[in-house]
Amino acid sequence: MTDFGTASADSCDYPDFAQPVAWDVSQGRFDRGILVCSTGIGMAIAANKVDGVRAAPAQSQDEVRMTREHNDANVLTLGAKYLDESRALELIHTFLDTQFTGGRHARRVAKIAQIEHGGQA
């Protein structure tokens, strides 16, 4: 585990943290990444700019489970504004413990990758 985060309560720019995490996931240095900002949305948008990253914001265990099982999400983004620490830890455990189911979902994830590389789905 590597912590790329800020160690300060000072305002910072979420892309500065999303990019190195997303890059390391895309390069295979890590299987998955977890990013936290106020809503989780900005982190997801920034991380998804990196080739090979499928970042998803989630607030419920069902969302986290589905994004892993169906979308093979490799980055989870969480909104600190909406989650307390214990709930965030539950979601993180679900994210790390849930596997991609493949099957018809693999075909869909492959289509996402085609779009990412400038092709058509």
Catalytic residues, by residue number, are: 37, 70
Tell me if residue 79 falls in helix, strand or coil.
strand
Rounded Cα–Cα distance for residues 113 and 57 (Å): 19
- Candidates 76, 22, 19, 27; CA nearest to 53 is 22
**Count of C-beta atoms within a 10 Å radius of residue 64:** 25
What ranges make up the beta strands (E) of the chain? 33-37, 55-57, 75-79
